[in-house]
Structure 1
Amino acid sequence: MDSNLVEEQPYGWVVVAVATLCLAFGFGVNVTVAVLVKPFEQEFGWTRAQIAMGYTALSIGAAIGGIFWGSLSDRIGAKRIALFGALVLSIGIMSLSQQTELWVIYAIYFAIGGLGFASLFTPLLALVGLWFDRRKGLAIGIVTAGAAAGQGVAPVVIQSMISTGGWRFAMLYLGVGYLAILMSLLMLLKRPPVLESATVELSQSDENLWGLPHRLTIPWLAFAGVFCCICMAVPIVHLVPLAIDLGLTPGTAAGLLSTLMVSGVCGRLFFGLLADRTGGLFTYFAASLIQTSTVFWFTQTESLFALYAVSVVFGFGFAGVMTSLLICAREAAPLRITGFAIAVVSTTGWVGMGIGSYQGGYFFDVTGDYTFSYGTAAIAGLINLLIVAALAWFRHTEAQRARGQNLSRIARATSSAPSPT
């Protein structure tokens, strides 16, 4: 059913371009905590676990808001929701520049996540997924590559702004720029033809590309996403302070994070194309394997070259994880609940990001280095791989059972057919 209802149109690529740029800016906000760790530590004397809780607050907000905004976008469309999100995101960034209390910073990051970022991320990805069928992997890969590019450019840009005028100056003018750019871009969004010509069949059907009950597969994908994102969050939030602790300058440390994110641009395009050929689940497992097998190596090397090498490999893998997990949600869910399915998977992912961010700072404060923090990230990655392998086995078993039933029906029909005389 999916393939017949989704007729790809050229304007879909305009929607891809808008979503790519908007999520590049949106994900740039996520790395503000990473570059603010040292300034906050120096100015206020807060611990790294306390500062990292800002990212946790953002993640929890995004998790809570994601399901609401995703479900709402299934009913009223993405444009109005995304415009609201852009406004909240911009005002939130600007308001950070005036704060001195930690709890207020937490509240702002929570609002940025739940009312700003979540109302951009989930509706825009769901919208892109509805414009495409045959090339949905490439389309979602491009959009998530933009998110990686934003995370790659933002640390360098924000660190440069901090060096020029301080962190308050950086947050104020970053928010002003976001407001002008995002509101202009989002005016170009349109609803996809599949929604404009929606039928009763679309609103009622439970069919999906996996042929499995979505009430079973979506929760398992969401559960895997928690552990995947615990693994992912530790380097994203704690790579810059780890590098500075090793003696690198703040600019060089931010450059490492940028390298990781820029490598992610390539990873998201590659794994998006791969998903169009092999399906989302295999692609998700492959990307998760790269992420899990490299995360601990950040703590096992001190040379700049080796840190860059690990950043490139980890960035390539972690970026593919995000792309392919979203494609899995698109494939496993009926079209009528695409936004909701992506929201559920994203929500649990953000829960994992929040846990990973906090535990990275907590175990550093307890042990005095990052070895245990990155070690627990690797363990979480292994749990994710086990869950995905179990889901793949179940899908394969169900497919084999369905084929066996079809062959049995054919055999019975053949045997009961009258013999030619």
Structure 2
Amino acid sequence: MTPKPAGPPDGGWGWVVAAAAFAVNGLSYGLLRSLGLALPDLAEHFDRSAQDTAWVSALALAVQQAASPVGSALSTRWGARPVVMVGGVLTSLGFVFSAFARSLLHLYLGLGVLAGFGWALVFAPALGTLSRYFSRRRVLAVGLALTGNGASSLLLAPTLQFLLDTFGWRGALLLLGAITLHLTPCGALLRPLTLPGDAPAPPRGPLAALGLGLFTRRAFSVFALGTALVGGGYFVPYVHLAPHALDRGLGGYGAALVVAVAAVGDAGARLVCGWLADQGWVPLSRLLAVFGALTGLGLLAVGLVPAVRSEEGWGGPLLAAAGAYGLSAGSYAPLVFGVLPGLVGIGGVVQATGLMMMLMSLGGLLGPPLSGKGLSQPVRSQPSSAPGVQAL
């Protein structure tokens, strides 16, 4: 039996776990952000609206978050390592299945349900395991891991556009299936860690494994509800930024640049905010309130882009809005997960992560498609390079 240390090691193998969580985050949320580049090709191929194709990303996001408590429960029962490895296989199979899709329904099932469920098995267990390895530098470690989606977006956005141009959307999805299979070795790096405060035996019943008892804690319930409301708008720009850029005539690589600018701002803000939070100068709750408000302002900036015109076209305002939103949203993310151990204790952090993401799933499911409802009759300033894709 592994001896119980006095507390989280705050380093050592924890940095390997941080690297694994970085890759997991990049191959889940980072890939989801870049997936918007493929939506115009899907809309054109299946002759469907932007609102219909937006459900592909929205379903994947919603299933990933709604099923996160399942990943947490399985991780609590059998450990994070095997659960994340299985999740990597399921995600890869979802992309491979979708590469042979004959209708949008097949994409809903492949990317939305199968890949989404695979992602549900990897994110919460990986991030929860990382939180157990750190105490004093926990928010910095979480922020470092969460920069994975920013770095991944920066690399995957131009790469995915190149794959779409070279191999078409079917070939691109097939290659993404091979890339997401790397989630499996990431799971193998999640060495289990036993800490004081852990239950002497894993919970047996399904309700206990899901951690539903955490909702009896008022502080966690209020926090989870607030995070769910934020989720209604948080993911909208990442789904629609690329199609909007394409619709305004920026071209495939121009759209990839918009995603990359948001990714750079996001990744940098997560590191800086994680470091700032660990200094203890300002309480985490106050930082969370401030950066939550800034995220709302960043979302407003993105929403005002269609009302702004310039002589150079739409590129400058859109790039500025994408960068501003990346900075604000990136600052908010590590704080959300960093406060959980203080709310539920280190023993319940994996389950709390899954439950919180489940509540965010409603916003993640409804936000992007409802925001695309206004795309039906766009005002075009110039011909679009993506037929069937309409403006945000």
Same fold (TM over 0.5): yes
Counterpart of 1:301 (choices 296, 300, 308) is: 308
RMSD: 2.6
> Against the structure 1 CA distance between its residues 268 and 289, is the aligned structure 2 distance closer, same or farther, given a 3 Å change threshold?
same
| Partners of 2:130 and 2:74 in 1: CA distance | 16
Counterpart of 2:373? Answer: 362
Equivalent runs, 1:31-42 vs 2, <5 Å: 31-42=33-44
Distance in structure 2 (CA, Å) of the matches to 1:369 and 1:340: 46
Q: Is the alpha carbon distance of 1:111 and 1:202 closer, same or farther for their aligned partners in structure 2, counting shifts above 3 Å?
A: closer
- Aligned equivalents of 1:202 and 1:90: distance in 2? 29
Matching of residues 224-263 of structure 1 within 5 Å = 224-263=226-265
2:294 matches 1:290: yes
**Are 2:85 and 2:185, in contact at CA under 8 Å, matched by a contact in 1?**
no
Q: Which moved more, 1:181-190 or 1:54-63?
A: 181-190
Please name the residue that 1:401 is paired with.
none
For 1:61 and 1:288, the matched residues in 2 are separated by 24
- When residues 328 and 14 of structure 1 are mapped into structure 2, their CA distance, relative to the original with a 3 A threshold, is same
Greater than 6 Å deviation, 4+ residue runs = none
Matched, 1:190 2:191: yes
Does residue 352 (structure 1) correspond to residue 359 (structure 2)? The answer is: no
- 1:38, distance to aligned residue in structure 2 (A): 0.9
For 2:172, the equivalent position in structure 1 comes to: 170
CA apart distance, 1:352 = 1.3
Q: How many residues align?
A: 358
Question: What CA distance in whole angstroms lies between the structure 2 residues aligned with 1:354 and 1:133?
Answer: 33
State yes or no: 1:105 paired with 2:145.
no
Q: Is the 8 A contact 1:59 1:113 kept in 2?
A: no
TM-score (norm 1): 0.79
Higher Rg = 1
Separation in structure 1 between the aligned mates of residue 368 and residue 140 of structure 2, nearest angstrom: 30
Does residue 274 of structure 1 match 2:276? yes
Give the structure 2 partner of residue 95 of structure 1: 97
Counterpart amino acid of residue 291 in structure 1:
T
TM superposition shift of 1:202: 12
Per-residue CA distance 1:169-188 (angstroms, 9 max, x = gap)? 11111212332x33333322
Cα distance change, pair 369–34 in 1 and its aligned pair in 2 (3 A): farther
For residue 157 of structure 1, what is the aligned residue in structure 2? 159
Does residue 328 of structure 1 match 2:339? yes
Cα distance change of structure 1 residues 369 and 77 upon mapping to structure 2, 3 Å threshold: farther
Superposition pairs of residues 52-91 of structure 1, within 5 angstroms:
52-91=54-93
Is contact 1:82–1:186 with CA below 8 Å preserved after alignment?
A: yes
How many angstroms apart in 1 are the aligned matches of 2:358 and 2:244?
28
**Could you say which structure has the higher helix fraction?**
1
TM value normalised by structure 2: 0.84
Partners of 1:234 and 1:187 in 2: CA distance: 33
Greater Cα offset, 123-132 or 30-39: 30-39
Distance in 1 (CA, whole Å) between partners of 2:220 and 2:116 is: 21
What does residue 416 of structure 1 align with? none
SS at match of 1:194: coil
Rounded to whole Å, the distance in 1 between the matches of 2:284 and 2:368 is 26
Q: Secondary structure at the match of 1:5?
A: coil
Q: Please, which of 112, 120, 123 is the counterpart of residue 121 of structure 1?
A: 123
Note the residue ranges of structure 1 that are not aligned, 5 or more in a row. 204-211, 371-376, 378-421
Equivalent runs, 1:375-390 vs 2, <5 Å: none
Percent of matched pairs sharing the same residue: 21
Distance 1:35 1:133, change over 3 A: same
The answer to whether the Cα contact below 8 Å between 2:86 and 2:184 also exists between their aligned partners in 1 is no
Task: Tell me, in whole angstroms, the C-alpha distance in 2 between the residues paired with 1:147 and 1:240.
Answer: 16
Q: 1:251 to 1:337 in 2, by over 3 A?
A: same
SS at match of 2:190: coil
